Amino acid sequence: MTHPITLESAGGEYMESVVVVEWTKKPGEAVAEGEVVVVVETAKAASEIPAPHSGYLQEILFQPGEEADIGSVLGRIGDEPSASASAPAESAAPAPKAADDTPAPAAPSAAKGGARVVATPLARRVARERGIDLHDLRGTGPRGRIKLRDVEAAKAAPKPAAAAPQESAGPIRDAVPVVFLHGFGADKTAWSRVVPLIDRAVTPILIDLPGHGASDVGAIARFDDVVEAVAAELDDKGITAAHLVGHSLGGGVALALCGLGRIAVHSLCLIAPAGLGPEINGGFLDGMANARSAETLEPWLDAMTGDDFALQSGYARTVLRQWQARDTQKTLAEMAEGLFPGNTQSMRLVSVLADLAIPAKVLWGLDDRIIPSAHAFSASAGVGLHLMKGAGHVPHMEQPALTARLINELARAG
Amino acid sequence: MALMRYAEALNAALREEMTRDPSVFLFGEDIGRYGGVFKVTRGLQEEFGFNRVRDTPISEQAMTAMAVTAAMTGTRPVLEIMYADFMPLTLDALVNQASIYEYIWNGQVKMPFVLRTQGGGGAGAAAQHSKSLDSMVAHIPGIKVVAPSTPADAKGLLKSAIRDDQPVVFLEHKLLYNMRGEVPEGDDVLVPLGAASVTREGTDVSIFATSRMVHESLKAADALAERGISAEVVDLRSLKPLDLNAIKKSIAKTNNAVVVNEGWNFCGYAAEISATIMDFCFDDLDAPVARVTMPDMPIPYSEPLEMAVLPNAEKIVAASLQTLA
């Protein structure tokens, strides 16, 4: 199956249209979820769009220099390194030399965005296992064949600097991954400002909570069932150990996962988490679920941030369009009613936090208008408290550098 | 352990099995009074009598059909076909009778017979007396094929073949009969069918060889060692059933394979092993599998020409180096 790379994945930068600056992958190349796959330029700045799914870049629909509207599908990621991957005409490698003058009918081997790589089965296998792109290697075997020794050499040699310096072209990431769990009403793109700043040694895994983003799972009204669904998704992804980062509702889920014992949690970073007290901004929950126009949604989205941070104009309109495309608000209403009945947080997780024996931090914006920052003080003495001046409910969007630094500290310690 | 020649080891195996089991008997051309052209059956007619060691006319087709019926009716015949080059005359009995009777009669008959023969070049015996037709018999389902390369294996494998309830074609090599080697003593020292043997351990390239080519491969491994290359030599011993695990294990270690067999190249035994390696070890291969075989041509009588066309250590070294290039 294929996974569209849409402009809605652009995270914080929402505009009416963008210009594609460059693709960091060629068709046919492997790409990991969360890795930058295409850079687009908004009126304000260049923005990196992470891959929504791991797989192989299959199709590029907008070439560099072309303008794409919000909501456009920029390209597609396939689960398999498809032989039919269509290379863009301009960047297609020289076609295989025809042995005769007869025009070849559809040439199945011409694909994969470049000359066919000649490599031994062993070299291919080892490169695949280590995430090394054979296109980057020079073969030293007969007729330029790439052999195991060439793959071994590539591993030893430092990678040439990639175009986007903070992004890796897929080095080996064998450390315990960091799993990110977003908050109520958001989706995994909420982390787009933090993920590029995470240590390259660790793999970021971005999860869409049930009923949110591109999750296959619909509305779930019981908190324990939400936790169970996330645990099941981690199981499916083969994740048995992780550093957990959770925001708001996702923070509550992360904390509950620590108590569940299904995966080995190496460290925990909670950002304005749910579950540490009863209060939550009911107007925000209702507004999110019921706003039918950008004008009525915008004030509630603004409520997420502190005074120092303004969401971009057009943000509310884009969010609403995405929600309407997926009927998200009905799901949000159902979940809000179950998780926060009577505008009260139903999940009670203070004792789980008190029992934690792993490195853990709680981050909270002092200007949080959704969940009071005072909840932070229910954390036990073994947990690090980081109260962030000037930040509201979404420090990972408002102060991504500091947030990423604190997450990195935990990932290194755990 | 006793030091004995390959031919003597075979003779010992026959004597021991005939002593152990009165249903074992031998027949073939010149095997009785003359003791066989390679002296494998020397002294057995005197010891066991004319009834159990029989000389036959030159009639390979009839002899093989006789072996089939004798095996079906409760004895364990060991038939000698003087040269492997005459094996085509035995084929109807092998392809249409021996290999399928147990199957078409639903297991009501067993087919415990051994067809001993010898092949191979290097003796100046020319185009009608030098061939290796390993693949021709290994191609037939229901027939086991064995090719010992040492006196110890010659004895142990022949004893296992005689005790086996399926037809076994036992391929000896004319240049090995005089080879001396240590042979374990004891009536019950068997070498199982279907088990390869790692003759020399190595880490860089696996050389899979059969029969006399094992010794050429060992010479090649010495020459490769001088270049700092560690070659592993695997003696397949049982051409069929094949010891697939031994092949997989070796390639998992070396990632490179050279297959050496004295038979013709096209549709040859080495081709089968190469294809099997690609079926089961593809992702472990760091180079195409190389074959060292006899070219597709008659074996010349002229000694320089015969030496030029037979596979040898020099060609095995070259193939190994090409694999590692």
Q: Write the pLDDT tens digit of every residue in A177-190.
A: 999 999 998 988 88
> Within this chain, do residues A379 and A301 fall inside the same structural domain, yes or no?
yes
Q: Residue ranges per domain, chain B?
A: 2-183, 197-324
Residue A247 and residue A276 share a domain: yes
Gap between the Cα atoms of B234 and B151, Å rounded = 17
In a domain, A105, yes or no: no
* Structure tokens given for A239: 């994740």
Q: Which of A164-168, A287-291, A378-382 has the lowest mean pLDDT?
A: A164-168
Buried b (16+ CB within 10 A) or exposed e, B258-274: bbbbbbbbeebbbbbbb
Domain limits for position A154? 115-162
Shared domain check, A370 and A398: yes
pLDDT tens for B218-245 read 999 999 999 999 999 999 999 999 999 9
Give the closest-approach CA distance of B284 to chain A in angstroms: 5
Tally C-beta pairs within 8 A across A and B. 25
Residues A127 and A223 grouped into a single domain: no
Instruction: Assign residue A74 the CATH number of its domain.
Output: 2.40.50.100
Q: What's the pLDDT band for A294 if we cut at 50, 70, 90?
A: confident
ipTM of model: 0.80
Residue A393 domain-assigned (yes or no): yes
pLDDT in tens, A212-256: 988 888 889 999 999 999 999 999 888 888 999 999 999 999 999
- Look at residue A149 and tell me if it is in a domain: yes
- Residue A383 has a pLDDT of 92
Whole-angstrom Cα distance, residue B284 to residue B275? Answer: 14
| Fold observed for domain B197-324 | Rossmann fold (3.40.50)
In tens, the pLDDT along B263-307 reads 999 999 999 999 999 999 999 999 999 999 999 999 999 999 999
In a shared domain, residues A290 and A386: yes
**Measured CA distances, B185 to A345, B49, B155, B173 (Å):** 85, 25, 10, 23
| Residue A101 domain flag | no
**Judgement on whether residues A223 and A264 belong to the same structural domain of the protein:** yes
Task: Report angle CA A97, A103, A106 to the nearest 5 degrees.
Answer: 90
DSSP H or E run through A20: strand A17-23
pLDDT at residue B309, rounded to an integer: 97
Superfamily of domain B2-183: Thiamin diphosphate (ThDP)-binding fold, Pyr/PP domains (3.40.50.970)
Fold matches, B2-183 and B197-324: yes
Interface of A with B (CB under 8 A): 120-125, 141-142, 147-148
Secondary element (H or E) of residue A271? strand A264-271
Say whether both A155 and A55 belong to one domain.
Answer: no
Report residue A171's pLDDT band, with 50, 70 and 90 as the boundaries: very low
**Average pLDDT along chain A:** 81
Report chain B residues touching chain A, CB-CB < 8 A.
Answer: 255, 282-287, 322, 325
- Quick check: A164 pLDDT over 50? no
Counting DSSP H helices and E strands in chain B, the numbers are 12, 14
Q: Is the peptide bond before A50 cis (omega within 30 degrees of 0)?
A: no
The 10s digit of each residue's pLDDT in B51-110 is 999 999 999 999 999 999 999 999 999 999 999 999 999 999 999 999 999 999 999 999
C-alpha–C-alpha distance, residues B11 and B6, integer Å: 9
**Residue A162: pLDDT band with limits 50, 70, 90:** very low
- What is the signed CA dihedral for B62, B65, B66, B67, rounded to 10 degrees? 130
Total domains, chain A: 3
Query: C-alpha distances in angstroms, B66 versus A262, B111, B183?
Result: 71, 12, 32
pLDDT digits 0-9 by tens, A1-42: 788 887 764 444 455 677 888 888 888 888 888 788 888 876
Q: What are phi and psi of A132, to 5 degrees?
A: -95, 135
Distances from the Cα of B228 to the Cαs of A204, B39, B149, B218, B318, in angstroms?
A: 45, 42, 26, 15, 14
Q: Do A122 and B283 touch (CB under 8 A)?
A: yes
Residue B204's Cβ-side half-sphere holds a number of Cα atoms within 13 Å equal to 16
Rounded to the nearest 5 degrees, what angle is found at the Cα of A246, between the Cα atoms of A243 and A250? Answer: 130
Express each pLDDT in A298-351 by its tens digit. Answer: 888 888 988 767 777 777 888 888 888 888 888 999 999 999 999 999 999 998
| CATH at residue A142 | 4.10.320.10
Closest CB to B283 among A125, A142, A147:
A125
Q: What is the mean pLDDT of residues B239-252?
A: 97
Coil, strand, or helix at residue B162? helix
CATH code for position A196: 3.40.50.1820
> What residues of B act catalytically?
129
